[in-house]
Structure formats: structure tokens, C-alpha cells
Chain A
Amino acid sequence: MAAEGNAIDALSQFELTPVLGVVGASVGFTQSNAHMLLAVGLITALMMWGTAGRAVIPGRLQALAESAYEFVHDMAVGQIGEEGRRFFPFLFSLFMFILFGNLLGLLPYAFTFTSHIAVTFTLAAIVFVLITAVGIAIHGWRWFGYFKPEGLSPALAVLVVPIEIISYLSRPISLSVRLFANMVAGHVMLKVFASFVVMLGTAGFLGFLGAAAPLAINVALVGFEFLVAFLQAYVFAILTSIYLHDAVHLH
């Protein structure tokens, strides 16, 4: 597995394998898709059960559901403004899906679907299409003035407009690469240090003592990865709301 033949195999954890037997294999239903469905199911269960009681003094589950709701709601209204309420359902789904994907990936034997660029880029592409569509729907042709700062001489516009367009087009790439790279880097680090533990632990008494160091690092890393899991979901959602702010308000 991790340290076979003294080689550290840190990347096999990202391989896709079909699940659900013959049916899964024929339609390409992998453990990644299964974890996505699990994340959606968990989010739905949290919100439905959490808000079912409607207690004035919330229990633990209701407090969790309410604080998640309020967190995203404050972000949407704070970043976009009052119009942000219209984008709250989208922002909430996006944030919770990424957050649960990141957190599920930290459980043993689980798969991190946000560690695949195909998944994160799809999410970023949805955001990109949305911000462009919202911008054009609200502002019409004036939206294209977004690429040309006011009071710019035509000679400079030839230079600045392509740069602005490239900058705009780079948004989905930076958005998706940031999430994907953070998740891959974290899981590779965990795997590498876990391999060190196994390799040292099987190398006699001194090695057994030495294995404590990478084990301690891994304990700290797991805690750090929980921070990263939350932070990257937050960064993805807050950048989306900043882009939505630009699309709604034009600058």
C-alpha cells in the first residue's frame, strides 16, 4: 500500500475506481461520484433535520444548521449587497458542497472529490458562466465596458483591454487550481509522512522510536488540514461573491 518496496506511493489515493459492481463500471460511477452524492445527502439531512424542530432555543444540530445558514447569508449580503440575497441559494450550495467534500476527504478510507481538477474546474466554470450571464443580463451591452476603465485614451485601450480580458478569463483557472492544489498538497503530505511512519516503524527498535516524529507531524497536519478544508471552501465562496459583486455593480 503506502510504502511497498520502500517507494512512497502518494498519488494512488487519487485514482478513481468504479463502485456498485457491474452497473457502476458500465456507467463510470466511481467512488468520487459516490462521495458527491454522500455530501449532498449529508447537507440535505443536516438542513432538514436541523430545522425540523424549529426550537426557539436551538439544539446542537439546529445551531449548526443555523450558523451555517447565517455564515453564508452574511457573506452574500456583506460582499454583494442587498442583491446578494438572490444569489444566496447558489452560494450556500456551492459553499456547503465544497466544505463537505473537503471534510469528507479527511475521514479514513474516504475519497476527496475536490482533489480532482475536473471537479473544481467544473464548479469554477459554473461560477464563470453565472457571473458573465448575470453581468450581461443586468447591464446589457454596458457590461462590456467592464474591460475598459473610464477615461482611458484609445491608444492605451488597445493595450489595457486585452489585459483586462485575460485577467477576467483567468478567474475560473485561479479559482479551480487554488482549491485543487490545496487539497492535493495536503493529502500528499499526509500520505508521505504516514509512509515514513510505516517505513521507520518496521526498521528495528531505533526506527520504532524515530517513527514518533513523523507521526507527531501527521497529527499536527490533520488538524491543519481541517483548517485548510474550511478555509478553501470559504475562499471559493467569498471569491465567487466578490465576482458576483463585480457583475452586479460593474466595478
Chain B
Amino acid sequence: MADRDDFDRRLQEARARQGLDAAPKERGGLPGGAWGIGFRVGVELVSALVVGLAIGWALDRWLGTGPWLLLLFVVLGAAAGVLNVYRVFMPRRGPR
């Protein structure tokens, strides 16, 4: 099968020379232009904020601690939103 392998290799080289094979994309990279990325960042920020808001509100209702846990968890939610956005651009990846 030596000539077969040789043919595959030469075919691969020829395809690469003609630009027929797109360069392999990095893993975890999501498609989307400026609109897609902007929308994604917005959704990530707001969803984490909503979760923080919901947790703070529920804990306040449960424990009767006034607005304080709500205020705390809104801040934590905003931080989680920034963390989400960070992960969009810097995926947390260990060795496969």
C-alpha cells in the first residue's frame, strides 16, 4: 500500500496548495461574526446576573434578611457574568 499512501500524501499537498482544505479551526471556537459575538457576550452577562438576582431574592425571602443578600448576590452575579464572558474567549481546557 506504499504507493497508495504516497498518493494520499501528494493529493493532500496539492489540495493544500490550491487552498481547497480550510485551515483546521481551534477547538471550542464558536462561529459568528461581530453580531454573533456581541449577542453571545450580552446573553452570558445577563443570564448570570439574572441567576444572581434570583438566588439573592429567594434567600432574602427565605431568611428575611432585607435587601442585603440580594445586593450581595447581584454583585456576585455580575462577577459570574464577567467570568462567563472570559470563558467565551478563553475556554478553560485541560489536556485531552
Residues of A that sit less than 8 Å from B by CB? 78-79, 81, 162-164, 166-167, 169-170, 173-174, 177-178, 181-182, 231, 234-235, 238-239, 242, 246, 249-251
Q: Is B48 within 8 A of A167, CB to CB?
A: yes
Which listed residue (B31, B51, B92) contacts A173, Cβ 8 A? B51
Residues of A within 8 Å of B48, CB to CB, are: 166-167, 170, 174
Once bound together, how far apart are the Cα atoms of A221 and B55, in whole Å? 39
Q: CB distance B79 to A163 under 8 Å?
A: yes
Q: Assess whether B32 is interfacial by the CB under 8 Å rule.
A: yes
Set of chain B residues within 8 Å of A177, measured between Cβ atoms: 43, 46-47
Among the 9-residue stretches B4-12, B13-21, B60-68, B80-88, the one with 4 or more Cβ atoms under 8 Å from chain A is B80-88
Pick 23 A–B contacts, CB within 8 A, sort by A.
A162-B73, A163-B83, A164-B83, A166-B51, A166-B52, A166-B55, A167-B80, A170-B44, A170-B48, A170-B80, A170-B81, A173-B50, A173-B51, A174-B43, A177-B43, A177-B46, A178-B43, A182-B39, A238-B30, A239-B30, A249-B94, A249-B96, A250-B94
Distance between A132 CB and nearest chain B CB, rounded to angstroms: 15
User: Chain B contact residues: over half helix, strand or loop, or mixed?
Assistant: helix
Main secondary structure of the interface of A (DSSP, over half): helix
Contacts of B46 in A (CB 8 A): 177
Pick from A164, A166, A235: contact of B30, CB below 8 A: A235
Q: A170-B50, A170-B84, A173-B51 are in contact. Are A162 and B76 (CB under 8 A)?
A: yes
Residues of B within 8 A of A81 (CB): 96
B residues at A contact (CB < 8 Å): 27-28, 30-32, 36, 39-40, 43-44, 46-48, 50-52, 55, 73, 76-77, 79-81, 83-84, 87, 91-94, 96
Return chain B residues, CB-CB under 8 Å to A250: 94
A177 to B47, CA, bound (A): 8
Least CB distance from A168 to B in Å reads: 9
Instruction: Give 14 A-B pairs besides A170-B80, A173-B50, A174-B47 with Cβ atoms closer than 8 angstroms.
Output: A162-B73, A162-B76, A163-B83, A166-B52, A166-B76, A166-B77, A167-B48, A167-B80, A177-B46, A178-B40, A181-B43, A235-B31, A238-B30, A239-B30
Which residues does chain B contribute within 8 Å of A249, judged by CB atoms? 94, 96
7 smallest beta-carbon distances between A and B, as pairs: A173-B47, A166-B80, A174-B47, A170-B48, A167-B80, A170-B47, A170-B51
Which residue, A162, A182, A249, has most C-beta atoms of chain B within 10 A?
A162
Task: Kindly provide the distance from the CB of A241 to the nearest chain B CB, expressed in whole angstroms.
Answer: 10
Tell me, rounded to whole Å, the shortest Cβ–Cβ distance linking B40 to chain A: 7
Chain A residue contacts of B87, Cβ below 8 A: 167
